[in-house]
Structure 1
């Protein structure tokens, strides 16, 4: 295992990363909310890429893993800035972007900001606009009042400790929505979604498929796979999706 390296962003944040040199396009893994670059998918794909001589980048958003900052003060826009700093400073071009959960939203934001850099995209339980359509839409009136009064509320999770959801996360998310306006993806896209996912529904995956303007976009629904999508068969499906993009 190589030592963690750090990148200082234009916003003054310090981003931890691991970069594997190799043949392009560079595969960039974008993790989920409160996930880090030591997760099963991120580390597995690094080994997979290295074995094939492929360039690969995994990193922690600010407030995640080894990067600077606190999760509770971050928002979608901050993490988008982290993504731009990482791909602009570390990845070269072109890119194959692999986005998991919130990383799927970040991948779509990257496509909007740097479409010319991307050769292809793989999403895994992509969660675009989840702050609005997931959290805000399901908040009770009491939770909305608490968010306004206290600046945060606590939300349970089926996959880890409860999340602290802040007013800043909700309000900033409204400026980053991708399912309300045209979403042009001028490259091949492969979407993977488990039917047993309790964090992101198949309806979200179908909505993204229907909404995006893309000439080569496919959605694979995997029966009984959950949000982690990280057991052996699911990892093999991720590999196959990347291979399909690269070919």
Structure 2
């Protein structure tokens, strides 16, 4: 296991991360909403990259896991800034960005902001535009209540309380980062994996992302029995295979 380190970026909170410095293209893993860098997919990818002698970074967003700050006070734009800071400060050369759920949305935003750094992306249950879409599907009275109180209790089976408190400002600010209303000008290879039994982000969301991308090199892989987390051993084997294949393709193209 690599040891945890901290990225200092005054006046912002420090970010906790693990890094392997090796060959490129490397891998940067982006976890989901309120998840940490210690999830099964992140650890499996780290082990794969270590054995393949490839660079790898996993980290915690501001206010999550071992990083400093308060997650409740963060906006999606803050976490996007975390991703860009990690790409700029902790990686050198082309990277494959792997994003799970909300991390898949941030993966797309990072690709748009740093096309010279992102050589390929792999999304798992990519939750592009998710918070905005889910909020708009709520009954009007719940939306009005969230606007009035400034907070929305977002249901989640992954929270001990059954919900995550989400500020109304978080939902509104997330609208600035939506990507699905028009063409997505990403030209690198894209691989999207999605479980068809995902009860949080519908698998059709990955199809919509694929349709909007400008890249000609886009594959969507649907797992009929896959759930949202895609953390079963067979799901992780698939992820490793997809990342490994993309790494091989990019290396053949002499990405330097």
TM-score, normalised to structure 2's length?
0.93
Work out the CA distance in 1 between the residues paired with 2:7 and 2:35: 19
Cα deviation, residue 214, structure 1: 0.9
CA contact (8 A) 2:6 2:17 kept: yes
Over 3 Å counting, the alpha-carbon distance change for 1:215 and 1:11 in structure 2 is farther
* 1:140 and 2:139 aligned: yes
Equivalence for 1:156: 155
Which residues of 2 match residues 72-111 of structure 1 at below 5 A? Answer: 72-111=72-111
Cα deviation, residue 11, structure 1: 5.3
Work out the CA distance in 2 between the residues paired with 1:124 and 1:199: 13
CA contact (8 A) 1:10 1:85 kept: no
CA contact (8 A) 2:2 2:20 kept: no
Equivalence for 2:121: 121
Work out the CA distance in 1 between the residues paired with 2:116 and 2:12: 26
In structure 1, list runs of 5 or more residues that go unmatched.
none
- Equivalent pairs, count: 246
SS at match of 2:230: coil
Equivalence for 1:229: 230
CA contact (8 A) 1:158 1:198 kept: no
Work out the CA distance in 1 between the residues paired with 2:210 and 2:177: 18
Work out the CA distance in 1 between the residues paired with 2:50 and 2:3: 16
Work out the CA distance in 1 between the residues paired with 2:190 and 2:11: 30
Equivalence for 1:15: 15
Cα deviation, residue 10, structure 1: 5.5
Equivalence for 2:47: 47
RMSD: 1.2
Work out the CA distance in 2 between the residues paired with 1:33 and 1:93: 27
In structure 2, list runs of 5 or more residues that go unmatched.
249-256
TM-score, normalised to structure 1's length?
0.96
